[in-house]
Each structure stands twice: as structure tokens, then as C-alpha cells.
Amino acid sequence: MKVRYFADTDTMLIEFRDVAVAETRDIDENTILDLDADGNIRSITIEHASKRADAPQFSYEQVAA
């Protein structure tokens, strides 16, 4: 998984899998969901990320099962 923040456009791209995009869905006017051929989430793009997702603030925590 990769999380990228583009400060010049205030866009956050969260890539879950490095596979081809088969379908793109607009969740709303500022959120785009990309799916692979099996309908799995490939990536999410968030526009105006500093306001909508607190970008570029980011933390990651792995929780043991």
C-alpha cells in the first residue's frame, strides 16, 4: 500500500494494490474510487485532502490479531 500527498494540488492518493484499473467510480465530486477487474478496491483519490482528510498528517498502526 502507498499513500501519496501532492501538495501542489492538495490531492491524496491511496493505492492499495498495483493492478490495472478496470472501473472508476465518482463517490462524490472530490473522491474517486478505482476498482480492478474483480471489483476490488485498487485506489482512492481525495481532492482538497488538507480540508477533507487532514493531509498531509498521517499515521499508521498495525494491530496484532
Domain positions in the chain are: 2-51
Tell me the pTM.
Answer: 0.85
- The pLDDT of residue 36: 97
- The pLDDT of residue 9: 95
Quote the cell numbers at residue 37. 477487474
Comparing C-alpha atoms, which of 45, 32, 41 is closest to residue 5? 45
- The pLDDT of residue 35: 98
How far is 65 from 63, CA to CA, in rounded Å?
6
pLDDT band for position 65 (cuts 50, 70, 90): confident
Taking residues 1-22, report their average pLDDT: 94
Length of the chain: 65
What is the 8-class DSSP label of residue 5? E
How does pLDDT run across 20-60, given as a tens digit for each residue? 999 999 999 999 999 999 999 999 999 999 999 888 787 77
SS3 24: strand
